[in-house]
Amino acid sequence: MNKLFSASLFFCLNCLFFPAVAQDADASEEIATEPQITFERFSLAELQQFARIFEQIRQNYVEEYSDAELLDMAIEGMLSRLDPHSELLDQEERELVEESSDGTFYGVGLELTMREGELIVVTPIDDSPAKSAGMQAGDIILEVDGQSLWGLSLSEALEIMDGEAGSSMSILVIRDDQLKPFEVSLTREKITMESVVARTVTEDIGYVRVRQFQRNSGAEFKEKLQSLIDDHPYINGLILDLRNNPGGVLQAAIEISDAFISEGLIVSTKGRSANSNLEFFASPNTVAPALPLVVLINQGSASASEIVAGALQDHQRAIIMGDISFGKGSVQNVVPIDDLRAIKLTTARYYTPSGRSIQAQGIFPDISVLDGEITYQNTGLSISEADLFHHLENEDGDAPQLLGFRETLSDIEDLQLAQALVFLKGLAIYQK
């Protein structure tokens, strides 16, 4: 099955720990020791009840299933009742989980979760067919190729959405601001995502977008941030964009936080087992310990994104701006069962430095700016002193800095980005 669609697979609600693989903000290190199975904790009556139900299904269900298939169903049912992120993985699914931490995967680029029987888009992935088709966080997928998804489990819905690269599907979507459901056509393809993008917005404001927390994102982020600072010596503010970032490798979230924090706790995890209780601290190797910083988040920011935003907020190192984040605050372990299968099991919650659990609550922005677009009013009839006949010239000449700032703003239609830019500009003026 192509789990590219899964909220749990893509660390969307992510933070994975892999055995000798990368840690994801959805997952934790694989459990190295095999647990001791003690059937003594089950009463004979309970075991007999399970055996009777199993035998009834095996003999009398309208369609025939093998014993192995029925046992898999029992395991899947047990895991699905725990939480939306615990699941049984076959060999292909396990490989896909590992591959996605390197930024390459197959599908249409949707992070999904199941809530009260509805398949909901957590976020469309950048540079994916879903993003290009205009899919948005919060969209509800009702049907795939005419087949209803109502009442299915997440894994069952993903099975229907699975398909070969190059194949297409039609999904029926409902959105809050639309009166009627509408159809979206998507083509499955191989998606290779660049994790970190860095540039300047204006001469003195830098911008870094982290699209997904991949295995090498931490080192890549620090390298690009350092180059941005070195190549633009007049930078006095930075915008870190974590919007629609579903999460990913935990270590990358720690390293990106560490780029701005030189000491103290970044994140901790707490669970029932001793190896689930961990703390991760900042190091003195900080790229930008004092650069004014605004972090943009929205409802598509999950898991590792929330770790970074929460750490920077608790350390009062950044202003968090945008919308309330998704609220994925749990850790999953990828645990091998045999050579072919594994389970992804939720084993802990993670906490911000101040001890906040964001599970099912999210990170609240310091400044709330809902998503929207900017329209600029320019009738061409505006008149200023400079337009008047025989006006006195300014002895210092024109004001190119103000003109450049106006031109920059007029190129930005992203309301949240524009507000972050104006905030940092105002802060720079205030601190002079």
Distance CA 192, CA 128 (A): 9
Q: Are 270 and 277 in contact (CB under 8 A)?
A: yes
Active-site annotation holder among 131, 328, 344, 425: 328
* Stretch (H or E) spanning 297: strand 293-297
**Distance (Å, whole) CA 108 – CA 10:** 12
How far is it, in rounded angstroms, from Cα 332 to Cα 395? Answer: 66
**Catalytic residue (choose from 314, 323, 330, 425):** 314
Known catalytic residue at 241: no
Token pair for residue 420? 């972050």
Q: Is residue 314 annotated as part of the catalytic site, yes or no?
A: yes
What are φ and ψ of residue 239, in 5° steps? -110, 120
Catalytic residue among 6, 217, 301, 303: 303
User: Tokens for 242?
Assistant: 């974590």
Q: How many CA atoms lie within 13 A of 42 on its CB side?
A: 11
Is residue 348 within a helix (H) or strand (E), and if so which, with residue range? strand 342-351
Residues pairing with 186 in the sheet: 169
In degrees, to the nearest 5, what angle opens at C-alpha 80 toward C-alphas 79 and 82?
Answer: 70
Radius of gyration of the chain (CA): 25
Catalytic residues: 303, 314, 328
